[in-house]
Structure 1
Amino acid sequence: MGKFRKELVREVKREEENRKKQKKLREKFDIPKDVVIVEKTNTFKFLVNVTGGVIKTAVLIIIFLLTVIGIVSLVFPVSRNELIHQFMITMKELRNFIGI
């Protein structure tokens, strides 16, 4: 009997979710209530979504790696000195480039 109730609850949740989705779509496209709206995905939309996900994941990995490199370079004295030295050289080059 437990499985029956779980399945019944799932189906009621699906129907409620479907009802909310249909209401949003009707409001969005200004369609009467007696029409059921079916959204179909196409290859271009799928490709854009997948590419966006891949780019977001790659950016997050790069940010994480740069954060780890920054923390490690600040924790260890040898790399900290080299980082400060490199920062000073970069600032000098920027001043020369801008003309200050």
Structure 2
Amino acid sequence: MCKWDIFLFNCNCFTLGLKEHCHQHRLKQTANCNEVQQVREAWVYRQNKVCQNHTGQEETFANGPTVTWSELESKVYQLAKEYAAKGDFPGRP
């Protein structure tokens, strides 16, 4: 399982960064990974700022992110699967 960090912005937007490649991906040395992708609530890192798309709207999102893990989990997992299938393993923002 490839493991992913989730970087959550005050505007509820998020980005992913690869935490660790899975054992299978390291052995195969292929560009993509079709194994299970792993995301966990403990790997959510609040950025305490808005994303680049919401720059200038800081006051609107002054209270920080309002999304819950249950709302975020499936979106994050799906995006991690898409990234891994394409061989796109972004790092930290």
TM-score, L = length of structure 1: 0.25
Structure ranking higher in helix proportion: 1
TM-score, L = length of structure 2: 0.27
Which protein, 1 or 2, shows the higher relative CO under an 8 Å CA cutoff with sep ≥ 6?
2
Structure ranking higher in strand proportion: 2
